[in-house]
Amino acid sequence: MESSIDTTRYYNTLQISKTATQCQIRDSYRRLIRQNQPELGGDIDFFQLIKQAYNVLKDPEKRNLYDRYGETLALSTSPRPSSRPNQPNFQSGIPPFCDMGAFPYFPFGGLSNFMSPPPGSRDYDPTARYSSQHDSDRPKQKTRPIRKDLPITLEDAYKGITKSFRIKRRVIPESFDAYNAQKCQRCGGKGTQKCSTETSPGEFTQRVIICEGCLGGRYINSQVDETKIVQVIVINKS
């Protein structure tokens, strides 16, 4: 009587043969995990299946159980303990993804909205919900300093002089209306994007970067170039 246990699905998922070496398993896993990232449009279920298959086939003991008895027994095997105390166990083969945007954000505009005064009360602010929701969408960052060389002569430095020069920077105009503005399509109006980086074979981490489309402004044309004339006074040292 032939066995009805499927012992080929994991191999087919990783696109390898049942005689594949550990190097072939790892290389195929790394290629597929990059090609099927959900952030790049990959199917989340297939993405999880790739990691599950690699978790089993990369471990000789689990692979042997899978080849003989199928997925159920192979997945029931407990992961090996970490060799270092108090260290996280990554033997499962699942890349330690960390959604950096999951923890600071709460639904309906943040935790502060649950503690806000109710509508109709004296202290109710109809713009508070909008502000708290969108202010939390981008990290607080200091404005980059503007540096400009100011050439002066030795005589200027001794006698003193006032010089003027122009600087250009990007600012949010006073006429900008966030309620009616069009959100940046690249980041979905968040002002930030998630970037995956491969830290080791088969393991990835995510970090948040400023959106290149809106430069952190969250909306299309939310920033304009402003030119300003600055005067610098060199004090008389005589």
Helix residue ranges, H only, 128-196:
128-135, 154-159
* pLDDT at position 54 over 50: yes
- Domains of the chain, with CATH numbers? 9-75 (1.10.287.110), 154-234 (no CATH)
Between 57 and 223, name the one with better pLDDT: 57
Which tens digits make up the pLDDT trace of 66-102?
998 888 877 775 555 444 444 444 444 444 443 444 3
Mean pLDDT, all residues of the chain:
71
- The whole-angstrom separation of Cα 137 and Cα 48 is 28
Which of the 8 DSSP states describes residue 189?
T
Residue 216: Cβ-neighbour burial (10 angstroms; 0-12, 13-18, 19+): buried
* pLDDT at position 114 over 50: no
* pLDDT at position 168 over 70: yes
- pLDDT at position 150 is 77
pLDDT band of 56, cuts 50, 70, 90: very high
pTM for this predicted structure: 0.35
Question: Left, alpha or beta for 15 (phi > 0: left; psi -120 to 50: alpha)?
Answer: left
Which tens digits make up the pLDDT trace of 116-148?
555 444 444 444 444 444 444 444 445 567 777
- The whole-angstrom separation of Cα 142 and Cα 46 is 41
- pLDDT at position 3 is 56
- The whole-angstrom separation of Cα 67 and Cα 74 is 9
* pLDDT at position 24 over 50: yes
pLDDT band of 178, cuts 50, 70, 90: low
